[in-house]
Amino acid sequence: MKRFLLVFAAICVAFSCFAQDDEAIPIEKIWGVNVNPDKTVTFRFRDRNADYVVVKGDMGKYPMTKGDDDVWTVTTPHSLNGGFYEYFFIVDDVMMPDPSNYYSTQSSGIVYSIFLVPGGMGDLYSVQDVPHGTLSHVWYHSDKLGMDRMLNIYTPAGYEDGHKKLPVLYLLHGSSQFDNAWIQSGRMVQIMDNLIAQGKAEPMIVVMPNGNRQLQAAPGFDTFNLTYQAQTRKYLTKTNNGEWEAAFPEIVKYVDKHYRTISRKKGRAITGLSMGGAMSTIISANYPDLFDYVGCFSCFPMGRGETADNLYDKIEYQLTKKTPKWYYHTCGPADDLYPQVQKFWKDIEDRGIEFEHEEKGVGHDWFTWRMDLTDFVQKLFKD
Amino acid sequence: MKRFLLVFAAICVAFSCFAQDDEAIPIEKIWGVNVNPDKTVTFRFRDRNADYVVVKGDMGKYPMTKGDDDVWTVTTPHSLNGGFYEYFFIVDDVMMPDPSNYYSTQSSGIVYSIFLVPGGMGDLYSVQDVPHGTLSHVWYHSDKLGMDRMLNIYTPAGYEDGHKKLPVLYLLHGSSQFDNAWIQSGRMVQIMDNLIAQGKAEPMIVVMPNGNRQLQAAPGFDTFNLTYQAQTRKYLTKTNNGEWEAAFPEIVKYVDKHYRTISRKKGRAITGLSMGGAMSTIISANYPDLFDYVGCFSCFPMGRGETADNLYDKIEYQLTKKTPKWYYHTCGPADDLYPQVQKFWKDIEDRGIEFEHEEKGVGHDWFTWRMDLTDFVQKLFKD
């Protein structure tokens, strides 16, 4: 089949790939999303029979109009801010990624097509001509959980040739997400490469584990192979029950053993978005000697563990006893969790726990979390 | 948007995601490709307006039939062999990946949906409960090419905790492909993990560089960011001109410096598919002291370099002078390159160059190349 497709791809340069009906539609008319020079964005989708086609994503929702060539198009009515955008089409009643866009992310069981608008945060989220760090997918054995599990580990440019010990940020994903979420949707590799190159963030190691107790790795990378769909929640049943959180020191131990780390509290930070932020608070409160820096993006510690350790119960007590050196919360005003987050903020304030909090970003979304990460890492390990 | 979608995904558990028209279609009727217990495979695609829908892929091409629920379905008429399959839909005149399948590969500018059939080679291409190696994406600087470039490097399970020096396989992709091709379509991580766990292959490091002279990394991972489409061939103009091949010793040097390698000829192999196989012959012939093991899957050294080194001209002379210890060619009888491959085999045979060749596999396809890799690595570094 591949051979056919190589030829096929070559033919596509000049003619429409889709010309089963012998139409020869110039490729540029149906190929891909286009970021225009004025930073408006044009979407195209070919369908000769649909009743309606809509594009929906981080840039808004726009109905598309069918041309004589059966190509539905729309251009955003205004320029977009520089940034990273995810979108999909709704074709009649079917939601789908853009079949003519090579680039996608997978999040919460859904495949999104993506584009980058240059300028502003878009530059920070792009691969720039700067020294690049290494991203590794490594496996460690968890005795407590009784399984091998994957860690995604970023080491900054120059790590391989250096001798200096580096601090470590543990970066956790949200609910219905996986260990690759910060890499794909969060653009963490680009953010770290760029901030470190600009001297705005300290060179640091970033460790991204999978916070779902039953999953060894992101879908497709563990023994469930290609059977996992986020819609089948059976794989997530034990997520958030406290077992994974209780086993977290095993990860720290693995990293300290195999990487050139500052293996003390002052050299460690932990944060995450939503569920991962809550887990960061829970883990750091229950292991108060591990982290000097603790973040919580769009989150409050919810849920109760079933385990004997009662990890979720001890939070406020532990936070009072040993507050992290820097305990940082953010939440966007449009976040549906905002009322509960505010309640948690008030609770810990009433107990005299020192923490910093900012209302920033928008809602419960990657637009907000990419900015949260960008701000957070610039404040770490500065002294 | 993500927040909306988390809720959206939750709703999907019980109802159709696509119910803009208030239909509540049970999710199992439209969600995903399904490998049935008898190893037939059922495909589903929802479209209420299409004139026809066809599924096409490694398993063949089948027209689909529309049901009363607007879901087009087809089940393969026979059981499939265990293996890894890529496919796409043709909906009227539009080719697209399966919008309800979370899993895909990207190859030659096209996005394929994928599924695994267990048993036979399918087990070898699956993530099994065995010790897993590490996959790293590292950057090295090429003085000769004047740029930083990415290498994908597999180290076998236990490498991090071991002390033994390991042999290295350099594994090259084909034309219009990238350094991630062997990982995505080639399933090399699974093949290596499984063969090593079974004791069938020696533990080895595998290095996968990007053989396109102009590209630092696969699309999306270099400074072209999301602008690259395989259809826009401008990025590939200098591929195969000999410059990248001439600079290959820089890669070997980087790997020997940063990994625990057997840094001699007897500890190095190089192979690739199609263009990458040709490059393997060219590189090894021009640097005859680097590799004891040289493979060439579905290929013959084609093309002429523009560079002063005349890399492509020296092949046969060098091969005569210093034949690799094991020089191994394969080609499937249905490969369109087969006549030219046969001619090359005759040429080198006439010159008295010792090599092994097998007619095996099918055509110019990943079905063949995955098997080629499986056979090749089991014969490496055994003495």
- Which of A93, A103, A128 faces B226 most closely, judged by CB atoms? A103
Which residues, at least 6 apart from A255, have a Cβ–Cβ distance to it below 8 Å? A151, A153, A168, A205, A207, A261
Q: Could you tell me the pLDDT band of residue A323, with boundaries at 50, 70 and 90?
A: confident
Tell me the mean pLDDT in the region B19-41.
Answer: 61
Check: CB of residue A82 under 8 Å from CB of residue A122.
Answer: yes
Residue-wise pLDDT tens digits, A103-122: 999 877 778 999 999 999 99
Structure tokens that stand for B189 in this block: 């991580």
Length of chain A: 383
Looking at residue A308, its pLDDT comes to: 41
Interface touch A93/B20, C-beta < 8 Å: yes
Q: Could you tell me the pLDDT band of residue A359, with boundaries at 50, 70 and 90?
A: very high
Interface touch A9/B109, C-beta < 8 Å: yes
Structure tokens that stand for A361 in this block: 């970003």
SS3 category, B25:
coil
At residue B83, φ and ψ (nearest 5 deg) are 170, -175
Percent of residues, chain B, with pLDDT higher than 70: 86
DSSP state of B318: H
Q: Which residues pair with B150 in a beta bridge?
A: B139
Within an 8 Å CB–CB cutoff, is residue B95 touching chain A? yes
Check: CB of residue B178 under 8 Å from CB of residue B150.
Answer: no
**Alpha carbons B321 and B301: distance in angstroms, whole number:** 17
Strand-strand pairing, A65-66 and B41-46: unpaired
**Alpha carbons B150 and B210: distance in angstroms, whole number:** 7
Looking at residue B226, its pLDDT comes to: 86
Percent of residues, chain A, with pLDDT higher than 90: 70
**Choice among A304-313, B34-43, B219-228 with the minimum mean pLDDT:** A304-313
Looking at residue A24, its pLDDT comes to: 32
Distance from CA of B57 to the nearest CA of A (A): 7
At residue B24, φ and ψ (nearest 5 deg) are -115, 85
Longest dimension (CA), chain B: 74
Distance from CA of A20 to the nearest CA of B (A): 6
Task: Tell me which of A200 and B219 has the higher pLDDT.
Answer: A200
Residue-wise pLDDT tens digits, A13-69: 333 333 333 333 333 334 678 899 999 999 999 999 999 999 999 999 999 999 998
Distance from CA of A351 to the nearest CA of B (A): 31
- A249-267 burial, b for 16+ CB within 10 Å, e for fewer? ebbbebbbeebebbbebeb
3-state SS track over chain A:
CHHHHHHHHHHHHHCCCCHHHCCCCCHHHHCCCEECCCCCEEEEEECCCCCCEEEEECCEEEECEECCCCEEEEECCCCCCCEEEEEEEEECCEEECCCCCCCEEEECCEEEEEEEECCCHHHHCCCCCCCCCEEEEEEEEECCCCEEEEEEEEECCCHHHCCCCECEEEEECCCCCCCCHHHHCCCHHHHHHHHHHCCCCCCCEEEEECCCCCCCCCCCCCCCHHHCCCCCHHHHCCCCCCHHHHCHHHHHHHHHHHCCECCCHHHEEEEEECHHHHHHHHHHHHCCCCCCEEEEECCCCCCCCCCCCCCCCCHHHHHHHCCCCEEEEEECCCCCCHHHHHHHHHHHHHCCCCCEEEECCCCCCHHHHHHHHHHHHHCCCCC
Q: Is the pLDDT of residue A123 over 80?
A: yes
In chain B, % helix, strand, coil (3-state, to 5) comes to: 30, 25, 45
Looking at residue B14, its pLDDT comes to: 30
**Alpha carbons B47 and B33: distance in angstroms, whole number:** 16
Residue B108 one-letter amino acid: S
Q: Could you tell me the pLDDT band of residue B176, with boundaries at 50, 70 and 90?
A: confident
Which residues, at least 6 apart from B28, have a Cβ–Cβ distance to it below 8 Å? none
Tell me the mean pLDDT in the region A296-325.
Answer: 72
**Alpha carbons B107 and B95: distance in angstroms, whole number:** 15
Within an 8 Å CB–CB cutoff, is residue B160 touching chain A? yes
Residue-wise pLDDT tens digits, A207-262: 999 999 999 999 899 998 887 765 566 778 888 888 999 999 999 999 999 999 99
Within an 8 Å CB–CB cutoff, is residue B114 touching chain A? yes
Show which of residues 281-320 on chain B sit within 8 Å of chain A, judged by CB atoms: none
Interface touch B231/A116, C-beta < 8 Å: no
Beta strands in B53-167 (DSSP E): 53-57, 60-63, 65-66, 71-75, 83-91, 94-96, 104-107, 110-117, 134-142, 147-155
Percent of residues, chain B, with pLDDT higher than 90: 69
Q: Could you tell me the pLDDT band of residue A312, with boundaries at 50, 70 and 90?
A: low
CA proximity to B247, closest of B147, B175, B173, B142: B142
B chain contacts of residue A258, beta-carbon cutoff 8 Å: 160
**Alpha carbons B107 and B55: distance in angstroms, whole number:** 18
Residue of chain B minimizing CA distance to A57: B1
CA proximity to B213, closest of B191, B240, B190: B240
**Alpha carbons B173 and B207: distance in angstroms, whole number:** 11
Within an 8 Å CB–CB cutoff, is residue B115 touching chain A? yes
Distance from CA of B351 to the nearest CA of A (A): 31
A chain contacts of residue B219, beta-carbon cutoff 8 Å: 102-103
How far does chain A reach from its first CA to its final CA, in angstroms?
Answer: 58
- Which of B27, B56, B137 faces A135 most closely, judged by CB atoms? B137
Interface touch A225/B126, C-beta < 8 Å: yes
Q: Is the pLDDT of residue B31 over 80?
A: no
**Alpha carbons A94 and B23: distance in angstroms, whole number:** 12
**Alpha carbons B181 and B170: distance in angstroms, whole number:** 14
DSSP state of B265: G
At residue A223, φ and ψ (nearest 5 deg) are -70, -5
Q: Which residues pair with B271 in a beta bridge?
A: B171
B80-to-A11, B77, B297, B374, B375 alpha-carbon distances in Å: 30, 9, 25, 20, 22
ipTM confidence: 0.91
| Mean pLDDT, chain A, whole residue set | 87
Looking at residue B2, its pLDDT comes to: 45
Within an 8 Å CB–CB cutoff, is residue B104 touching chain A? yes
A128-to-A86, A101, B322 alpha-carbon distances in Å: 20, 21, 43
B chain contacts of residue A27, beta-carbon cutoff 8 Å: 231
What's the burial of B343, exposed, middle or buried (CB within 10 Å: 0-12/13-18/19+)?
Answer: exposed
**Alpha carbons A153 and A156: distance in angstroms, whole number:** 10
Q: Is the pLDDT of residue A360 over 60?
A: yes
Tell me the mean pLDDT in the region A301-315.
Answer: 59
Looking at residue B20, its pLDDT comes to: 35
| Mean pLDDT, chain B, whole residue set | 87
pTM: 0.91
Mutate to test the interface with A, among B7, B90, B93 (most CBs of A within 10 A): B93
**Alpha carbons A207 and A152: distance in angstroms, whole number:** 6
Which residues, at least 6 apart from B138, have a Cβ–Cβ distance to it below 8 Å? A134, A160, B150, B151, B153, B258
- Which of A9, A128, A138 faces B176 most closely, judged by CB atoms? A9
Looking at residue B312, its pLDDT comes to: 64
**Alpha carbons A154 and A135: distance in angstroms, whole number:** 5
Looking at residue B351, its pLDDT comes to: 84
Residue of chain A minimizing CA distance to B234: A13
Within an 8 Å CB–CB cutoff, is residue B270 touching chain A? no
Within an 8 Å CB–CB cutoff, is residue B260 touching chain A? no
Q: Is the pLDDT of residue B316 over 60?
A: yes
A chain contacts of residue B17, beta-carbon cutoff 8 Å: 95
**Alpha carbons B90 and B95: distance in angstroms, whole number:** 4
Residue-wise pLDDT tens digits, B325-339: 999 999 999 999 999
Structure tokens that stand for B13 in this block: 């558990």
Length of chain B: 383
**Alpha carbons A170 and A279: distance in angstroms, whole number:** 11
Q: Which residues pair with B295 in a beta bridge?
A: B328
Show which of residues 62-81 on chain A sit within 8 Å of chain B, judged by CB atoms: 70
**Alpha carbons B168 and A26: distance in angstroms, whole number:** 45
CA proximity to B223, closest of A118, A369, A42, A186: A118
Which residues, at least 6 apart from B25, have a Cβ–Cβ distance to it below 8 Å? B15, B16, B18, B19, B46, B69, B71
